Structure 1
C-alpha cells in the first residue's frame, strides 16, 4: 500500500542523509534480487491459494479471478498486469517498465514451476494469511529496492499521483478495499477475514522494514 514511498526512495539522486550519493546496484545484484523477490511472491501466492485466500494488490486480483475461471494464477497475474505496463512507462519511465515486464514474466513462469517443486497438502489458514502476506511483502520490498515492481495497482497509484496529484497510498488503500469487497461474493466470511489479515501483513512489511533514510543502495 505504500509503494509510492518505495519508488520515491529509489529515484536517482536521492540520498540517505542529504549529502551522500546512493550506491548503484550492479546488474548481478539486481538479477539476484529479482530472482529472490519473484520466488518469495510466488511462494506467498501458493500458500494463499492453498487455503482459498486473497490479498491486496495485483496478487490479490489474480487470486480472486483464479477462483472464478480455470486459469493458473501466474497467467492471470501477467494478463492483469499488461495494461499497467503503460502506466509504468508514463509514470516511472522506460527502464522501470522493462524491469516490471521482466518481473511479471518471471512470476508467471515460477507460478507454473513452483507447484512441481513444492506440494502443500495442508496449511492452517491464519498461518497462511500471516506468512503468505509477509513473504509477498518481502518479495515486493526486494524488487522495489532494486528499481522494479510487481506492477499492477501500485503502478496505477503512482501514475495518478504523478499526473493528477492523487495520493498514491490512499488510492492503493481504496483499491485493496474494493478487492476485499469483491471477494465477499466469492469466498466465505471466515476466509475473507483471513484475507484482510494477509493484506495487512503485506503492508506491514513495507511500513516496518523499508526505511529509505537507512538505506544507501539504489
Structure 2
C-alpha cells in the first residue's frame, strides 16, 4: 500500500500542534517536579544542575544530533525534527504567560502529562519527525551497530530517572515512572500503521491471493 506524503502546510500545522501537546505536558511535569525520559528528560534534569531555562537547554541538547539525522536518516526528517524541537522550546517558555496552575495532583499531572506528550510524539511520528536527541541516536545505533533502539532508549530513560534521585524526592521519581508508562502506552498502542487502513489492507490481501491463484492456474494450464 502506497503512503500519501503530507504537504508542507500539513506538516507545519501538525508539528506545531504536536509541539503544543508536548510543551503543555512538560509544563505539567515542571509544576510538580516530575521527570520524563529522552532529550526532554535530559533538559529537565539540566535545569537542576545549571541556571538555564528548559526551553533553551532542550534546544541546545538537540543541536549535535541534527548532523547525525541529516546524514543517516533523511533531510525531511531532520527539518521536521528541527521544527518540532524549536516549537517545544519556545512554547514551554511561553505557556506560563497564558496558564497559571495554582494546584494540581501530582498523579494526575503524571498521567495527563504523559498522555499529552505521548500524543504529541505520535503526531510527530506520523509526520516524519521526532523530539530529536536520544531518539535520533537510538535509530542510528540500531541501523549501524544493530543495537535495539528500544533497549537503548530504556537504558537512557532509566539513567535519567536514577540521576533524578539526586535532585527530587524518591516518591516523585516513582510518579515519574507512572508518567513514562502512560507516555509509552500511548505510543505502543497507537503507533501501528497496519491498524489505520484495514479496508485497503484487506483489498491488497485479496489482490495478492487472486494473483497467486491466477499464477497457479497458468502453471496448471501450461
When the two structures are superposed, what TM-score results if normalisation uses the length of structure 2? 0.85
Tell me by how many angstroms 1:120 deviates.
1.0
Which among 196, 200, 215 is matched to residue 177 of structure 2?
196
Higher helix proportion (structure 1 or 2): 2
**In 1, are the aligned partners of 2:55 and 2:93 still within 8 Å (CA)?**
yes
In structure 2, the partner of 1:112 is 93
Q: Deviations over 1:8-28 (max 9, x none)?
A: xxxxxxxxxxxx211221222
Other structure's SS at 1:67 match: helix
> 2:169 & 2:149 partners in 1: Cα distance?
30
**Does 1:150 find its partner at 2:149?**
no
Equivalent residues in 2 for 1:115-194 (5 A)? 115-194=96-175
When the two structures are superposed, what TM-score results if normalisation uses the length of structure 1? 0.87
> Structure 1: any 5+ residue segments left out of the alignment?
1-19
Give structure 1 regions of 4+ aligned residues with deviation exceeding 3 angstroms: none
Which among 58, 68, 73 is matched to residue 87 of structure 1?
68
> 1:175 & 1:71 partners in 2: Cα distance?
22
Tell me by how many angstroms 1:89 deviates.
1.7
Equivalent residues in 2 for 1:20-99 (5 A)? 20-99=1-80
> 2:51 & 2:116 partners in 1: Cα distance?
25
> Structure 2: any 5+ residue segments left out of the alignment?
198-222
What do you get for the CA RMSD once the two structures are aligned? 1.2
Q: Which structure exhibits the higher relative contact order, with contacts defined as CA atoms closer than 8 Å and separated by 6 or more residues? A: 1
**In 2, are the aligned partners of 1:54 and 1:61 still within 8 Å (CA)?**
no
Number of equivalenced pairs? 197
Larger radius of gyration: 2
